[in-house]
Amino acid sequence: EYTIYLDLFDYAITLFFLIEIIIRIISERSLKKFFSDGWNVFDFLIVTISLVPINNVESVFVARLLRIIRVLRIITVVPAFRHIIDSLIKTIPRVGFIALLMFIFMYVWGAIGTMFFGKVDPENWGNIGLALITLVQVATYDDWAAIMGQVTEVYPFAWIFFVSFIIINAVILLNMVIGVIVDVMTGGSGIDDLIKAEEDAKD
């Protein structure tokens, strides 16, 4: 019984979005102008995917995936979400350089760890690949004390290796990523200003 109401609600939402996208295309008076906006392309793809009848899809996985994709339409409906996504996209270049620097430090520490701890703890430091995975675990504070404890029995001063890595990668560089994101989000117009501007434009 509830399934019928949910299906009707799903059809109503899909119809609403379809009418809305058609009105927006007509208002632009040019398909080229409409599709020049990335958000319009995103909306069009989501609405097009929403038109695929889920009940006729044989694969349960595909049907669930289609339902999940439809939820993404909410991102463009709420201006605050669009502002957040736009800000995240703008941070990609700067965050990319910081991520590259983080990887360089991880590779250096991984090579050092493999060199000194490879024989002591081969499961975590047997090769550079394992060392990088271990350093990710250390950077996320996932039981890093236990990993350190396995090597400090042989190398008492190994704590310097772990603490220095955490300070550089997990504290300084990771906070730089957060700082870049906050700087971009607060550097432009705020979320409230964006919402107000869009409401004024509609009026």
pTM of model > 0.85: no
Work out the end-to-end distance of the chain between its first and last CA atoms, rounded to an integer number of angstroms: 41
Where exactly are the structural domains of the chain? 2-77, 86-187
- Identify residue 159 by its one-letter amino acid code: W
Give the residue from 102, 178, 93, 95 showing the smallest Cα distance to 139.
Answer: 102
Please, what are the averages of pLDDT over each run of 10 residues along the chain (203 residues)? 70 81 83 83 82 63 70 75 82 89 94 92 92 93 89 90 92 89 70 58 61
Burial of residue 169 (CB within 10 Å: 0-12, 13-18, 19+) is buried
3-state SS string over 163-185? HHHHHHHHHHHHHHHHHHHHHHH
Amino acid at 100: L
Angle of helix 2-28 relative to helix 38-50, nearest 10 degrees, comes to: 140
| 2-77: CATH architecture | Up-down Bundle (1.20)
Q: Which residue has the tokens 């590259």?
A: 100
Look at residue 143 in the predicted model and tell me its pLDDT.
Answer: 87
Task: Please give the class, per CATH, of domain 86-187.
Answer: mainly alpha
